[in-house]
Structure 1
Amino acid sequence: MHKVNIASFDLNLLSIFVMLWETRSVTRASDRLALTQPAVSHALRRLRDGVGDELFVNAKGGLVPTARSEALIGPVREALEKIGLALKGQEAFVPSLAVRQFNIAAGDLVEFSIVPQLVEHLGREAPGIVVRMHPVPEGDLALAQLASGEVDTIIGGQPQKGMGVHNETLAEIRLATLVWKQEKLRSRRFPLDLYLDRPHVIIQMPPRQESVVEQTLSSLGLQRSIGAVVQNFMAMPIIAARTGYICNVPSRMAGAFAERFGLSVHEPPVDFAATPLYMSWHKRFEADPAHAWLMQQIRDMAQEPAAGGPPGK
């Protein structure tokens, strides 16, 4: 049996082989391929030499395929179709028909203020898609999870580092100040004297990190009183509602907290700088239309106010 050396075989000849099969004519094949007849005849000779078979024999009605040609046509067509699909790229992503899971690593701020709108939106537009939340990985694990596709994106207060990782500022987080309604504060801006005198319930910061509130107050020579330190944003308004303590929360969450826990929302007594919220992903997946679609949905949801309405007085 003749052995074909695939390393030196000109794969362009396979397209000519298929055209000869379909037209059964060198002349018609040359017309469809926009090649000269001598070029197609030369290609046929190379095909015969490479395969070790005549492939087509001349007959009264045109070219007649040999048994070897009959055996080759199916696999060759299938191979060319697969190559064409691979070169063309992935099929269009249709959200309403998609059935898959997206994995997002984020903290409770994102889970409370962005994910509910995202899930609600997907329920309408892409009911076959499930969002699965993961804790934010640290260090090399973050790069590994993004590069492997274990998580589609990481959303958090720090940009992710590593070769191939892209970071985008998803939103600017500003703070609002909450206190129980029975305080009956009428001013939109929270009174500075009460802010410094009343204990605060605050979120636990990572080691050797200081919140934007502490940084700003310290720069002004001021200091607030701490009444409780918690690990979850949800605990802050609950404690504030029961104790009269003050809490500062992202403004997009403030309206929902106020509505649920009987609090009033105010601008902080001093201007705290906005802190960026980053969305990170790996460039390996940028060409994936489904991944690109997810990123855009998250961007859209990040620009919408959180559930519960806008902050009130």
Structure 2
Amino acid sequence: MQKVNIKTFDLNLLVLFVTLWETRSVTRASDRLALSQPAVSHALRRLRGAMGDELFVSAKSGLVPTARGEALIGPVRDALERIEHALQEQEPFVPALAQRAFNIAATDYFEFSILPQLVEHVSRLAPGIVIRLAAVPEGELASQLLESGDLDAIVGAQTVKGMGISHEMLDEVSLTTMIWKQEGLSKRRFPLALYLKRPHVVIRSRQNTIVDQTLAQRGEHRQIGAVVQNFMAMPMVAARTGYICNVPSRMAATFAGLFDLSMHEPPLDFKGSPLYMSWHRRFDADQAHVWLLQQIRAMVPLD
């Protein structure tokens, strides 16, 4: 492996390397760096010579990294981000004076049970801050949006996988079983016989939930009477049909009051479902980003 003298190495070549990795094209890299194509090509030759490796080879889809290029991208990106953070003089973040938007991708549970309190809390501390909510992206797109900063955080039932991603468990979501009050149930725990006999209204078409897993372990299964898209629709259907619904316990009291439903412990002890928050470590030094995560944590203290 060729030895590189860091004292004489042009660090601008590393910026070029990352740009070529992201664009996979000399033409697009030249546009992004505001350089001519010959200048980019010349810089690439210098980089190849310094590293003793082609780093990228041409293919139908554009420039494809070599094994050496694959091995370098992570450390080089981290190093450039550290240099960037070190060179920037970050102004102190003052919530009361801040004017900016935060973008959070989150599940329906977060939107219904946590977001209202979060917005109310933030509006008092930082009236110039806007909270924008989006659907949780799938697959690699989730980590890409966190890395780019297009999303500040993702809150959902799964952790986001990817290089540089941090996560923590915010909450453990327990369930409350609900049915219309005219059923006349007075017991705190919902009767198992009625739970298995009466149809349920469930959210989306999720298969093998913790409820179904627990019932299956006992050789039982429940009847599905309706499948809806969000939590709010479940108690509305239950109030009109007498169907059973299982809702997150933090939301149960609100639904009971709105739709005249009775609240009960589930007939069996269903394990709580974790709620995770994920973000990218490249923003760990960003005072505004750190403040946002702190406000989200404050809204969902673990019992």
Amino acid at match of 2:288: A
| Within-5 A mapping of 1:238-253 | 238-253=236-251
Counterpart in the other structure of 1:151: 151
C-alpha distance 205-166 of structure 1, shift in aligned 2 (>3 A): farther
Select 2:216's aligned residue among 199, 215, 218.
218
1:304 to 1:120, Cα distance in 2 relative to 1, 3 A = farther
* Aligned match of 2:121: 121
Please give the secondary structure, in 2, of the residue aligned with 1:270. Answer: coil
What residue number does 2:55 align with?
Answer: none
Question: How far apart are 1:88 and its partner, in Å?
Answer: 8.0
TM-score, normalized by length of structure 2? 0.70
Which residue of 2 is the match for residue 257 of structure 1? 255
The DSSP-based 3-state class of the residue aligned with 1:241 is helix
RMSD: 2.0
Secondary structure in 2 aligned to 1:195? helix
Find the counterpart in structure 1 of residue 22 from structure 2. Answer: none
Aligned 8 A contact 2:170 2:302 in 1: no
CA contact (8 A) 2:188 2:264 kept: yes
Describe the SS at the equivalent of 2:257. Answer: helix
Aligned match of 1:268: 266
Q: How far did 1:205 drift?
A: 3.8
Q: Which runs of 4+ in 1 moved over 6 A?
A: none
Residues of 1 paired with 2:90 and 2:245: CA distance?
Answer: 48
Deviations 1:259-304 (A, max 9, x none): 1111111100000001100100000101111111110110111139
Question: Using the alignment, how far apart are the partners of 2:87 and 2:139 within structure 1?
Answer: 35
Q: Which residue of 2 aligns with 1:279?
A: 277
SS of the residue 2:170 aligns to: strand
Alignment of 1:35-114 (within 5 A): 89-114=89-114
Spell out the pairing of 1:124-143 with structure 2 (5 A cutoff): 124-143=124-143
Instruction: State the shift of 1:86 in Å.
Output: 5.4
Secondary structure of the residue aligned to 2:221 is coil
Q: Counterparts of 1:147-226 in structure 2 under 5 Å?
A: 147-206=147-206, 209-226=207-224
> Are the equivalent residues in 1 in contact too, given 2:171–2:302 (CA < 8 A)?
no
Structure 1 counterpart SS, 2:168: strand
Cα deviation, residue 107, structure 1: 1.6
1:295 matched to which residue of 2?
293
Q: Give the conservation status (yes or no) of the 8 Å contact 2:104–2:131.
A: yes
Q: Do the aligned partners of 1:205 and 1:211 also contact (CA within 8 Å) in 2?
A: no
Where does residue 67 of structure 2 map in the other structure? none
Given residue 192 of structure 1, which amino acid in structure 2 is its aligned partner? L
* Cα offsets for 1:22-61 (capped at 9, x unmatched): xxxxxxxxxxxxxxxxxxxxxxxxxxxxxxxxxxxxxxxx
Q: Distance in 2 between matches of 1:218 and 1:263?
A: 27
Letter in 2 for 1:119: V
Change (3 A) 1:281 1:217: same
Q: What amino acid maps onto 2:98 in structure 1?
A: A
Q: Is the 8 A contact 1:177 1:266 kept in 2?
A: yes
Structure 1 position 164, deviation (Å): 0.3
Q: TM-score, normalised by structure 1?
A: 0.68
Deviation at 1:89, TM superposition (A): 5.0
Matched residue, 1:73: none
The 8 Å contact of residues 177 and 267 in structure 1, kept in 2 or not, is answered as yes
Q: CA deviation at 1:190?
A: 0.6
How far apart, CA to CA, are the structure 1 residues paired with 2:90 and 2:179? 52
Partner of 1:295: helix, strand, or coil?
helix
Identity %: 63
- Paired residue type of 1:223: H
* Partner SS state of residue 216, structure 1: helix
Amino acid across the alignment from 1:275: S
Shift of residue 92 of structure 1?
Answer: 2.0
How many angstroms apart in 1 are the aligned matches of 2:88 and 2:134? 33
Between the aligned partners of 1:100 and 1:243, the Cα distance in structure 2 is 45
Q: Secondary structure at the match of 1:280?
A: strand
CA separation in 1, counterparts of 2:223 and 2:134? 34
Instruction: Give the match's secondary structure for 2:215.
Output: helix
